[in-house]
Amino acid sequence: MAGLYLHIPFCRQACHYCNFHFSTSLRYKDDMVEAMAVELAQEAPYLQKEPLQTIYFGGGTPSLLDDAEAARLFEAIHRHYTISPGAEITLEANPDDITVARVTAWKALGVNRLSIGTQSFFEDELRWMNRAHTAAHAKDCINLSLAAGIDNLSIDLIYGSPLLSDEGWRQNVETALAFGIPHLSCYALTVEEKTPLHKHVATKRSLPTDDEKQARQFLLLMDWMQEAGYEHYEVSNFAKPGFRSRHNSAYWKGEPYLGIGPSAHSFNGRERRWNVANNAQYIAGITDGTAARETEQLTASNRLNEALMIGLRTSEGLDLAKLEADWGEAERKRLERALRGFIEAGLVRLFPDHAQLTKEGMLRADGIAAALFVG
98 versus 312: smaller Cβ distance to ligand SF4: 98
Q: Which of 4, 6, 8, 15 binds ligand SF4 (CB under 6 A)?
A: 15
Cβ of residue 33: shortest distance to ligand SF4, in angstroms?
17
Residues between 35 and 64 with contacts to ligand SF4, criterion CB under 6 A = 59-61
Task: Estimate to the nearest angstrom the gap between the alpha carbon of 356 and the chain centroid.
Answer: 22
338: left (phi over 0), alpha (psi -120 to 50) or beta: alpha
Pairing of strands 231-234, 2-8: unpaired
Subset of residues 294 to 313 that bind ligand SF4, contact rule: CB under 6 A: none
Q: Measured from the CB of residue 133, what is the shortest distance to ligand SF4 in angstroms?
A: 9
Backbone angles phi, psi at 354, to 5 degrees: -150, 165
Which residues, numbered 62-121, are part of the site for ligand SF4 (CB under 6 A)?
A: 94, 117
Choice between 94 and 275, CB closer to ligand SF4: 94
- Rounded to the nearest whole angstrom, what is the least distance from the CB of residue 114 to ligand SF4 in the complex? 14
CB of 222 vs ligand SF4, minimal distance in Å: 24
Residue 18 or 350 with smaller CB distance to ligand SF4: 18
Q: Please, are residues 357 and 308 in contact by the beta-carbon 8 Å criterion?
A: no
Per-residue DSSP letter, 317: -
The alpha carbon torsion through 298, 273, 74, 80 (nearest 10 deg) reads -70
In whole angstroms, the minimum distance from the beta carbon of 134 to ligand SF4 comes to 14
DSSP 9-77: -B-SS--TT--S--BS--TTHHHHHHHHHHHHHHHGGGGTTPPEEEEEEEES-GGGS-HHHHHHHHHHH
Cβ 341 to ligand SF4 shortest distance, Å: 37
Nearer to ligand SF4, 16 or 80 (CB): 16
Closest CA to 40 of 10, 83, 11: 83
Interface residues with ligand SF4 (CB under 6 A)? 11, 14-15, 18, 20, 22, 59-61, 94, 117
